[in-house]
Structure 1
Amino acid sequence: AISEREGEWSEECEGWFGEGLRCEVLRFANQGWQRGRVRIRLEFFPETQKLLREERPRRASLEDRPTREEIYSRRDEVYEAYREPNENDY
């Protein structure tokens, strides 16, 4: 993942995503070398809402959904599992 490589990041790496790095490319048809820059650009294109609705499994009714109390109690269970020990635990 990207976060694992964070220590290897440098100002030179930043150039790939910002203004780009200077380079030259050889043009075909005897046009010779052309100077320019190379830049990496990453984009996210969300799917249309219609497609998302079609792919999502449908529930039979609202009764299948967890109640608000069930949702919050699950979050408390996670908190309890990872909480810091206190004096009463010893």
Structure 2
Amino acid sequence: MFANLINESSQKQLTVKVGFSWTEMFFGFWTPVFRSDFKWAAILVLAEILFGSFTWGGGAFLVTLVFAFFYNRLYVKDMVNQGYKPADKTSADILKSYGYI
């Protein structure tokens, strides 16, 4: 499911995914890099290195699997803190039903 966000001061619009992040599960830290979310990209790289180094890489997969359940929520909350708001009533209802706002 997707929702539309708009920043009223810059008029920039975003379409964000709501729910489980399949891209995070398959691509790991590259998902926040492509979304220009460098804070979470750095956190994921550090977590994957930390957990992967003790488990010959298996821990890195575990980190991406766990973050896949939470990353879209974290990303939307960061965008809301940066001034983005739901662009329409449908997007607001979707975000409220998932507990994002």
Report TM bin, short chain. Answer: under 0.3
More helix by share: 2
Looking at CA atoms only, which structure, 1 or 2, has the larger radius of gyration?
1
More contact order relative to length (CA 8 Å, sep ≥ 6): 2
TM-score (norm 1): 0.25
TM-score (norm 2): 0.24
